[in-house]
Amino acid sequence: MNKRKYGDWRDPDNKYLKKIPYWDLFRNKYSKSSIKPIFLTLVDYLLFLEKKFQKTLLMANGIEILTYFQEVINTKEISKSSKNRYRYFISSYYNYVKNFKNKLEQEEFTNPVPTKDIYDFDGKTNALYDLQHDFELLSMKDIKRILAQLYYVKPNWVYIAGSLIIYSGARVREIAQIKLVNLDIKNRWFLTEVKSNKSEKRMGMYFFPEFFQEDLERYVKLLNLRDPECKYLFPSKWRSSSSGHISKRTIQRYMQEVRKELGIKALTNPHAYRDFINSRREERGATKTQLKFLLMQKIPDVNTNHYLKKYKNRSVLRDIYDKFNPFEESIKPKPKL
């Protein structure tokens, strides 16, 4: 590893430093001797991303990280310890940035990404995305087109899964593993296992609008006719599947197909719908605590599992959902002829 390959990491005018978000904050965690190889490794990685994927460091995903190791690290004649060092440096940087961003999302902050202007994070929009990407914000018109495309073009289960993601704000993993015993169509809620960086592993509850009840009830009846022993709302078509339910990747793939088919420029990964409904609720006056409960984020000093066991509390949460729900029945696709 050439120690002067990308210049001195202590030089404030080093052009590579400006490409590493949160670098000044991150480097304070390590000694000067440790930070040198980390800097060189991160620059190697960001140049790889720019060349192969036209992406910045912070926008990389798991597949691109894996590709980097397969195409760059594993093809080099370097020792196993050196490969592990690369992995450690990159993972430590990502874990720090992830935890730091989570803390920043809890309150207003000034975005530390190098820029001529100062951007304030207001909890509704991610200034980091705005700086690095030029895309339109997801609108209600986009949502309506997406639901129609799911309804008329895609398999019925895809329309149901996509609708639940959009209407409830649940994470795609949580939608994929809904059990039929945890679905209450009459009361318009479903329980599912919550597992995210912002919350411990537990059961969470989400809601859907009244006008979606009929479509969901019809789907469940057909599901029971096809397989009376079915346990999941979205079962895997492969009987050998260890989980028994559809994978989140399958749902994500269909949702991205719709975006491409419609030519929508706005960000429409499943988590974007979660951000969309949360922003609309906040605009309608929902408090931070209400927002956290509706999205099943970690609530300080509240045992959520115990709280949701009480049906009275469930009804209270459903009323809060209805009060701040931005979706009207006009958004629902018209029945197929």
More confident residue, 251 or 293: 251
Quick: pLDDT tens for 92-105: 777 777 777 666 55
**Cβ–Cβ under 8 Å, residues 260 and 268:** no
**pLDDT at 154 > cutoff 80:** yes
**Average predicted confidence (pLDDT) for the chain:** 78
Residue 290's pLDDT is 84
Tens-place pLDDT, residues 61-76: 767 777 888 888 777 7
How far is Cα 131 from Cα 115, in angstroms, rounded to an integer? 8
End-to-end C-alpha distance for the chain, whole angstroms: 66
Percent of the chain scored above 70 by pLDDT?
Answer: 80
- Residue 122 in tokens: 């207001």
Write the CB contacts of 243 (distance below 8 Å, at least 6 apart in sequence): 177, 236
Give the per-residue pLDDT at 309. Answer: 76
pTM of the predicted model as reported, rounded to 2 decimal places: 0.60
The predicted pLDDT at position 325 comes to 92
Mean pLDDT to the nearest integer, 207-229: 93
Statement: residue 115 has pLDDT above 70:
no
CB proximity list for 310: less than 8 A, separation 6 or greater = none
Q: What is the mean pLDDT of residues 280-288?
A: 87
Q: How far apart are CA 224 and CA 132, in angstroms?
A: 47
**Mean pLDDT calculated for residue range 4-29:** 80
The answer, yes or no, to whether residue 330 has pLDDT greater than 90, is yes
Taking only the tens place, the pLDDT of each residue in 118-150 is: 333 333 344 334 334 445 678 899 999 999 999
The Cα 286–Cα 295 span in angstroms is 12
In the predicted model, is pLDDT for residue 231 greater than 70? yes
